[in-house]
Structure 1
Amino acid sequence: MALAALARKIFGSPSDRVVKRFAGKVHEINALEPELEKLSDEDLRLRTQAFREQLEKGAKLEDLIVPAFATVREASKRTLGMRHFDVQLIGGMVLNDRAIAEMRTGEGKTLVATLAVYLNALTGRGVHVVTVNDYLARRDAAWMGEIYSFLGMTTGIIVHGLNDAERKAAYACDITYGTNNEFGFDYLRDNMKYSRAQMVQRGHAYAIVDEVDSILIDEARTPLIISGPTEDRSELYQKIDALMPIVEEGDFEVDEKHRAATFTDQGIEKLEERLTTDGLLKSGSLYDVENVALVHHLNSALRAHKLFSKDKDYIVRNDEVVIIDEFTGRMMPGRRYSEGLHQALEAKEQVKIQPENQTLASITFQNYFRLYDKLAGMTGTALTEAEEFADIYRLEVVTVPTNVPVQRLDEDDAIYRTASEKFEAIADLIKECRDRGQPVLVGTTSIEKSEMLAALLRQKNVGDLQVLNARYHEQEAFIVADAGVSGAITIATNMAGRGTDIQLGGNLDMRIARECEGLEGEAREAMIAEIKAQIALDKEKALAAGGLMVIGTERHESRRIDNQLRGRSGRQGDPGHSKFFLSLQDDLMRIFPVESMDTMLSRLGLEEGESITHPWVTKAIERAQGKVEARNFDIRKNILKYDDVMNDQRKAIFEQRLEFMDAEDVSETTTDMRHDVVQSIVAKAIPPRSYPETWDAEQLEAAARTFLNVTVPAKDWFEEEGIDPETVEERLRKVADDYMAEKEARTLKAMEEAGQTNPTIMRQVEKQVLLQSIDSLWREHLATLDHLSKVIGWRGVAQRDPLNEYKQEAYELFQGLLTSLRELVTTQLSHIELQFRAPPPPPTPDLSKLREVHIDPQTGENEPETEAAGATLAARPAAGATAAGAVGAAALKPIDPKLLVGVSRNAPCPCGSGKKFKHCHGAF
């Protein structure tokens, strides 16, 4: 360690060397600034087209870094009033260099992204900016979109609730902001469509992932799954849940490390007896084959009751169980636990039980983001996970220096014997901070603990405080924005990727949005000036009190999450403090005990009611966290190895689907499939190197009827002298081909008789059958692989590598899928009979339900006369009615017909009635 530290001191860290390499370009960009300042807005905008022309002529993106970055900086100054710092220019180069820019909170990562986004959008292939939630996607697209729009680029947003047309339009933009879930689900949905025109994404060229550690590591623990409902088993879940009160200590074992719970023999005996009484266990033991589904439900119920806690792992909201992300503390609506666990939780909480789902398509975030030709990310904390980023995504982590040196003081951890002692000490420190006007941000690990601490503080009359957790998700941005106000107390569950800057004195933009709503003109300007003065005064108070105090109520399994909480303080060189409080009852200390901690605490003399604060303790805990991180990485890596096997098959299936969708004629493919099926039929009836007397004519005839829908005289063929398998195969192939040709001719004739003509109808049918068959078999294949992955681990007992066994069996299953595909497509096409009938006469429209609407081209609004009257076509005159008859002869003034020539329909009528011409003498 000492040698490594010495080497870093002499040669610099890898990040230092990268920063040094980019420093020369920063000087070149700065040198261009005076020249660009002289350009008009239009001239600056024209540079975008000039850059694109250079790329078309063969220039590389790297050649345009200096002029493009300088252009973006100048555009930002003119639109947002924000000038990129030199370190932000370096951050932009890191993002363009397929790497992760680690930049501290408050260093302006959102603005940094505009540099690399603009540069890569010049290629015209689209750039995706990935955020952790819809709020940030909308905010960043609107905020940074001003720069892109100024420079002649388009910006789209992908959020929950958009239809396919809106999504397609957003993806067609130069830059598209959206959440990781939406991008991934759109990819899966696209690969379930039946034509290119229905697909919304246009490829995966370049993506920048904001809060990259949260998305590519924390979120990547579970795959994205599109699923459909299966049969309703809610009654069974309720009956199983009713058994849980009889399950006592000794009936089950819990492994908190692996989040697993299992019944003991004692528990199984008790349950078998009760299940038999209730009529749920029909016969035999609980672990007989016919009772597998029952075991599945019992295990799900046990996990729901013994491992998952309300207000920590999930909350109940609007009669639904909503998962809480353990890293961010955010709700994840729409996400559900698999394998019946979510249904078990719904039964436990007595809310409506949604049916279980069947997987239709799935992909892990790891494999989705590896689809991009070029990937980059940014976050405040990535260095502790550098190995995983390099190993899984081939992304290097580069630490970008801060614009102003960090002045935050990180104190050593304080460790107590019990949780109650720890929270009392935390409450005392918060009260001290409040008394001197220092803002406090407290990080907790669950809703339960955040509300417990809030209740303790209220008992002590500490004052007003804000609690931010999944219950108050909608107010998140405003609560965080006020966390830097002098004397403010904010209690939050895990602060990972909150996305809103905590500024001492308060966030100006947020306060303007909240307090100036509805104000205009001088009143608005006066209010803004007053807010600015209040913030400046409050900031002085907060600075004098020592800046933002960050308090961690316990250590997380990952150092990265702790660092994210710490990083909220000390923004842009502001002073600040951070301190973590621990107890021996904390989950980390209890589930992952720190080696020799007891000995260490004894030496340091930890007494009841007192704490130990020592660098030894802090370092020991960080070492323990490092071990947990390594273990979690191994788990994720192992899961990915299994998913990589499926991913290879997924790519093959999706690429094949695209080929079929793009092809106008797939008849050659379906013919090849039919011929393969013929070959398989003959091979089964006539085994290799077998004697003619052993050939099975009945099997061949039955298979021909089943798969090809033809009747063949196999017995007669086999009795012919000198007949061989090749001849039999050739005859069967000809019979099948002739039958399909005759069927196509019959279909076209039926169409003509029905008065329809579509010579390509069979080609369309073949394509639809092919795509639907692929989708049906792929869904079954996914379910099979999922089940296989759950049991393959037992092969290790037999000294066989489970991963190799999985690869081999998955390959064999995929070969079986291809065989089944050939048979299914051939069978369906041979049995399908298309029927054609003359189309029925068009129905007479119900005129009372139709409404005339005309958009005035001058105003863009519905014309008042039409809109107010709600005029319907029922009120329109019959065809052939005169203008006078249409409006009412008595209402029209006599007028010289010559005056009506050339009058615009929206102009006043020349008769002087005051009506528009089209509503008077110009009415049809």
Structure 2
Amino acid sequence: MLSRFVRALFGTANDRTLKIFQRRVPEINALEPQVQALDDTALSGKTQEFRDRIAKGESLDDLLPEAFAVCREASRRVLGMRHFDVQLIGGMVLHSGRIAEMRTGEGKTLVATLAVYLSALAGKGVHVVTVNDYLAARDAAEMGRLYSFLGLTTGVIVPNMPDDARRQAYASDITYGTNNEFGFDYLRDNMKYQLGEMVQRPFYHAIVDEVDSILIDEARTPLIISGPAEDSSNLYRAVDAVVAQLVQDPTTFEKDEKFCTVILTDSGSDHVENLLRQAGVLDEGGLYDLQHVAVVHHVQQSLRAHTLFSRDVDYIVRDGKVVIIDEFTGRMMEGRRYSDGLHQALEAKEHVEVQQENQTLASITFQNYFRLYPKLSGMTGTAMTEADEFAEIYNLDVVAIPTNRPVARKDEDDEIYLTEQEKFAAVVKLIRDVHERGQPILVGTTSIEKSEALSDLLKREAIPHNVLNARFHEMEAKIVAQAGAPGAITIATNMAGRGTDIKLGGHVEMLISQTLGDMEDSPERDVAEKEIRDRVARDHDIVQQAGGLYVVGTERHESRRIDNQLRGRAGRQGDPGNSKFFISLQDDLMRIFGSDRMSGMFQKMGMKQGEAIVHPWLSKALERAQRKVEARNFDMRKNTLKYDDVMNDQRKEVYAQRREFMATEDVSSIVTEAQEDVIDAMVARRIPEKSFAEQWDVAGLTEDVQKTFGLDLPIAAWAKEDGMDAEAVADRISQAATQAQAARAANIGPDLMRFIEKQILLTTYDAVWKEHLHALDQLRQGIGLRAYGQKDPLNEYKHEAFQLFTFMLEEMRQRVVGLMARVEVTPPPAAADPFADTAEIHADPEVQGYASEPGPGLSPGASPEMATPIGGSAIMPDDPSSWGETPRNAPCPCGSGQKYKHCHGRLV
């Protein structure tokens, strides 16, 4: 009661935020006559004027009213669209680094141009992130005309672009692309060997379209670049044959659909062990013996494939391949694959070719990728339900923008039935009634399977309709263009993120494009185009009189956001419309998350077959169930992010260090310091502190020096000298190693040595980082068991991950020093493709890798770990100009045997 009173008195937080932005709208509108008076040349010249003022110290906020007025007038001239006042508010929300929630049909794409134009004036590059390649290319082409008129450059990133084209696109003032392409380019850039090969500029401002889909739905799993691992396709097939027999008996496993898990029962473990023995997969020992860890993993993934994943719901089989279906958009995710062997298990289940598994080379979550941008904003039709997550994870506030016209859509209460059969019978009856009065209908389903089942029911009733799902992906544009025609019936598997409005009467531009195609300009084309426009105008009036688009939901989703996106397809820009959801107690949400008492309660109420219950309280109860599911999913994403944050700190350090290596022309001082560290650690390990010479492990130290540097030094003789200690021994080893390195540098030459040192440093860093990622994966999988020992798994993970990182750095120094001590010059091999055997994975997906051409290089003769060397310097004992920046505690390069600070580096 009190909260309602406070809101009535002071307004909501959203209302107060809107008032702040609304104050600037009159200021922008007041500039319109002045801007309209400018000719095209003067209007486009405003961009350079703004940039000059920025160079003199003006801020973007100072320029906002003028820049928005210029952008609005340019849009009116170029695109034929003038921004509404509420769209100006949306542009200000985006510029302020917030999320703008705008209803479907309110023109989010046009709103973005305001914030994009203003940020692009800074010259640092603005990234506009879309949910798919089609929208990226479409928006870049359409809005690019506006930006070009204003003197800005526009680029677009699409799959399989060569590096030069990507670099040019990122160098543009505005760059369009998908979240996957931006993320994978970031990872690939941090696998390059020269700064000039990198394609991205330093991050500045990202504006994310469909921000809820990208930052929440797709952020559940990381982006991964992986390379091929050991082939185990035969094992997958053998295990699949066993599990296929096992799942015939439901007592052998326990499935929890709520948490999407399945485990073997005791009898199931015994049964599968016997079956594996018969199949020859197990030879000796039990299933859970240490040597059979891989077999257990394969059994678990195969069990998940058979019990938790359904064909035509979670994936389809097309052209001999298992193709994932996006559960949020219903689209096929071509080229993407489930990770951790699950996709291979599905391929074995469906008896198609089992592809090779992969090993992680680089990875990042969307949460941590987008937090790299100093300024982040987004827009969507549905964000308020996830406002807490946006605030906590991304520090983003959500602002609900009012519609340009009042919403005229009628949202009817849900109808609840006992069985799915009764529910679909009621859906078909409603469709028939609505169709007969000429109202277009959009029917939303949650899977391909259910959309095709409903289609079969409509065919039996001889009701004409179109089906839009992953199977008919190619017909999407044509179907959507006609979905608003009188009496049109469209069955869609999740309409979220389709990127195309359903307009009453039909989509004029798309219909003209589809009907007239490439027909040349002529009087005949003009006549045909006029006929299409007149027909659509007549149909628009018919549909409007009939009541607008009718949206029918055949099931509630786990997230209220997806339901709201479906509802939002009706009632755009003040159009009339209706929405209604039909639910049965057999639906997944009700069956898995609903109360067990609900079915019994309804039956006690005397519900008859075919009878529905309709009441606002039931709709609210369903929303409460959805809130519980959303909260659970948020906790899961938050927990995953806590672990990834540990890796993210390490990743940022590694990538920053790597860039420093690439930016440094001469890395000889880095290699020298690594050599000193290795020698100090080597000596400290074999010569205990404050020990006598008799207690030294002379033989072990001699062997270490031989193994690392290839030097046979008389350490045993040194130990017998008076006054010899650990520091003196370390100095002599360092002196000998430096002299050997100087001699090697003299033979190779200074420029080539500089080239070799840098390449060894980078390739070794990459190798140990890859191994470190694998170690962290292994640690993460088992760390949850620490909870049984009353220990916090996250704290344990942080502690051990830090130890692993320390070991990684030590291993890197050891390898670099060892390789430099044995490097030999050989003729350069044929140029290889560094990304040829890599794959890109997201949302448990895998996307075919992108390749770039490397430069020629050199191979160290003695080490198979080393690939193509790049970089280093040659040290000549008699030429101080070749010594570079010698560390003061390092042996003097002149060969005197003294430390540099006591010899040529002595301060006078």
Q: TM-score, normalised by structure 2?
A: 0.90
Give, in whole Å, the separation in 1 of the partners of 2:709 and 2:824: 13
Indicate the residue corresponding to 1:686 in structure 2.
687
Indicate the residue corresponding to 2:127 in structure 1.
128
Give, in whole Å, the separation in 2 of the partners of 1:772 and 1:98: 38
Indicate the residue corresponding to 1:227 in structure 2.
226
Indicate the residue corresponding to 2:371 in structure 1.
370
Structure 2 residue 11 is the aligned partner of structure 1 residue 12: yes
Give, in whole Å, the separation in 2 of the partners of 1:282 and 1:778: 36
Q: Within 5 Å, which residues of 2 pair with 1:190-205?
A: 190-205=189-204
Give, in whole Å, the separation in 1 of the partners of 2:523 and 2:202: 49
The alignment of Structure 1 onto Structure 2 pairs a total of residues equal to 826
Unaligned runs of 5+ in 1: 749-758, 840-924
Indicate the residue corresponding to 1:341 in structure 2.
342
How far residue 334 of structure 1 moved from its aligned partner, in angstroms, is: 2.2
How far residue 440 of structure 1 moved from its aligned partner, in angstroms, is: 0.5
Indicate the residue corresponding to 1:400 in structure 2.
401
Give, in whole Å, the separation in 2 of the partners of 1:3 and 1:625: 27
Conservation of the 8 A alpha-carbon contact between 2:438 and 2:487: yes
Indicate the residue corresponding to 1:642 in structure 2.
643
Give, in whole Å, the separation in 1 of the partners of 2:599 and 2:317: 39
RMSD of aligned alpha carbons: 1.3
How far residue 74 of structure 1 moved from its aligned partner, in angstroms, is: 0.3
Q: Within 5 Å, which residues of 2 pair with 1:531-542?
A: 531-542=532-543
Indicate the residue corresponding to 2:467 in structure 1.
467
Structure 2 residue 92 is the aligned partner of structure 1 residue 71: no
Give, in whole Å, the separation in 2 of the partners of 1:59 and 1:603: 72
Indicate the residue corresponding to 1:478 in structure 2.
478
Conservation of the 8 A alpha-carbon contact between 1:594 and 1:620: no
Instruction: Tell me the SS of whatever aligns to 1:137.
Output: helix
Give, in whole Å, the separation in 2 of the partners of 1:836 and 1:376: 51
How far residue 605 of structure 1 moved from its aligned partner, in angstroms, is: 4.5
For 1:163, the aligned partner's letter is P
Instruction: Tell me the SS of whatever aligns to 1:577.
Output: strand
Which protein is bigger by CA-based radius of gyration? 1
CA distance 1:461–1:831, shift in 2 (3 Å): same
Relative contact order (alpha carbons < 8 A, sep ≥ 6): 1 or 2 greater? 2
Structure 2 residue 279 is the aligned partner of structure 1 residue 288: no
Residue-by-residue CA offset, 1:803-848 (whole Å, 9 max, x unaligned): 00000000000000000000010111111112479x9xxxxxxxxx
Indicate the residue corresponding to 1:710 in structure 2.
711
Indicate the residue corresponding to 2:675 in structure 1.
674
Instruction: Tell me the SS of whatever aligns to 1:188.
Output: helix
Unaligned runs of 5+ in 2: 831-908
How far residue 430 of structure 1 moved from its aligned partner, in angstroms, is: 0.5
Give, in whole Å, the separation in 2 of the partners of 1:722 and 1:144: 78
For 1:227, the aligned partner's letter is S
How far residue 617 of structure 1 moved from its aligned partner, in angstroms, is: 0.5
- Residue of structure 1 aligned with 2:792, choices 786, 796, 801: 801
Give, in whole Å, the separation in 1 of the partners of 2:636 and 2:628: 13
Residue-by-residue CA offset, 1:716-757 (whole Å, 9 max, x unaligned): 111223321111111111111111111111223xxxxxxxxx
Conservation of the 8 A alpha-carbon contact between 2:133 and 2:177: yes
Q: Within 5 Å, which residues of 2 pair with 1:397-796?
A: 397-463=398-464, 465-519=465-519, 520-594=521-595, 597-598=598-599, 601=602, 605-748=606-749, 759-796=750-787
For 2:110, the aligned partner's letter is L
Indicate the residue corresponding to 1:382 in structure 2.
383
Indicate the residue corresponding to 2:250 in structure 1.
249
Indicate the residue corresponding to 1:914 in structure 2.
none
How far residue 542 of structure 1 moved from its aligned partner, in angstroms, is: 1.0
Indicate the residue corresponding to 1:155 in structure 2.
154
Give, in whole Å, the separation in 2 of the partners of 1:55 and 1:533: 48
> Please, which moves more after superposition, 30-39 or 644-653?
30-39
Conservation of the 8 A alpha-carbon contact between 1:220 and 1:365: yes
For 1:264, the aligned partner's letter is T
Conservation of the 8 A alpha-carbon contact between 1:414 and 1:581: yes
Identity %: 59
For 2:82, the aligned partner's letter is R
Conservation of the 8 A alpha-carbon contact between 2:467 and 2:490: yes
Conservation of the 8 A alpha-carbon contact between 2:127 and 2:206: yes
Residue-by-residue CA offset, 1:507-559 (whole Å, 9 max, x unaligned): 11111111121322212211121111111111111112111110111100100
Structure 2 residue 92 is the aligned partner of structure 1 residue 101: no
Give, in whole Å, the separation in 2 of the partners of 1:175 and 1:580: 41
Residue-by-residue CA offset, 1:298-352 (whole Å, 9 max, x unaligned): 1111001111011111111222111111111111122211111000001111111
> Please, which moves more after superposition, 277-286 or 378-387?
277-286
How far residue 708 of structure 1 moved from its aligned partner, in angstroms, is: 1.7
CA distance 1:4–1:597, shift in 2 (3 Å): farther
How far residue 260 of structure 1 moved from its aligned partner, in angstroms, is: 1.2
Instruction: Tell me the SS of whatever aligns to 1:760.
Output: helix
Residue-by-residue CA offset, 1:391-448 (whole Å, 9 max, x unaligned): 0000000000000000100011110000011011001100111111110001100000
Residue-by-residue CA offset, 1:464-498 (whole Å, 9 max, x unaligned): x1111111222223322221111000011111111
Conservation of the 8 A alpha-carbon contact between 1:594 and 1:621: no
Conservation of the 8 A alpha-carbon contact between 1:324 and 1:330: yes
Conservation of the 8 A alpha-carbon contact between 2:187 and 2:362: yes
Give, in whole Å, the separation in 2 of the partners of 1:365 and 1:347: 31
Give, in whole Å, the separation in 2 of the partners of 1:678 and 1:598: 74
How far residue 567 of structure 1 moved from its aligned partner, in angstroms, is: 0.3
Give, in whole Å, the separation in 1 of the partners of 2:201 and 2:89: 30
Give, in whole Å, the separation in 2 of the partners of 1:576 and 1:13: 28
Conservation of the 8 A alpha-carbon contact between 2:585 and 2:599: no
How far residue 602 of structure 1 moved from its aligned partner, in angstroms, is: 5.5
Structure 2 residue 813 is the aligned partner of structure 1 residue 822: yes
For 2:435, the aligned partner's letter is R
Residue-by-residue CA offset, 1:595-625 (whole Å, 9 max, x unaligned): 7634763676533221101011000010110
CA distance 1:522–1:836, shift in 2 (3 Å): closer
Q: TM-score, normalised by structure 1?
A: 0.88
How far residue 5 of structure 1 moved from its aligned partner, in angstroms, is: 2.7
Instruction: Tell me the SS of whatever aligns to 1:582.
Output: strand
Conservation of the 8 A alpha-carbon contact between 1:604 and 1:612: no
Give, in whole Å, the separation in 2 of the partners of 1:576 and 1:652: 54
How far residue 689 of structure 1 moved from its aligned partner, in angstroms, is: 3.3
Residue-by-residue CA offset, 1:120-150 (whole Å, 9 max, x unaligned): 0001000000000011001101111111000
Indicate the residue corresponding to 1:82 in structure 2.
81
Give, in whole Å, the separation in 2 of the partners of 1:541 and 1:246: 58
Structure 2 residue 162 is the aligned partner of structure 1 residue 171: no
Give, in whole Å, the separation in 1 of the partners of 2:600 and 2:346: 41
Give, in whole Å, the separation in 2 of the partners of 1:595 and 1:7: 39
Conservation of the 8 A alpha-carbon contact between 1:117 and 1:127: yes
Give, in whole Å, the separation in 2 of the partners of 1:350 and 1:9: 63
Indicate the residue corresponding to 1:853 in structure 2.
none
Indicate the residue corresponding to 2:896 in structure 1.
none
Structure 2 residue 211 is the aligned partner of structure 1 residue 212: yes
Conservation of the 8 A alpha-carbon contact between 2:243 and 2:272: no
Indicate the residue corresponding to 2:850 in structure 1.
none
Indicate the residue corresponding to 1:189 in structure 2.
188
Conservation of the 8 A alpha-carbon contact between 2:244 and 2:306: no
Conservation of the 8 A alpha-carbon contact between 1:415 and 1:611: yes
Conservation of the 8 A alpha-carbon contact between 2:772 and 2:808: yes
Instruction: Tell me the SS of whatever aligns to 1:82.
Output: coil
Indicate the residue corresponding to 1:258 in structure 2.
259
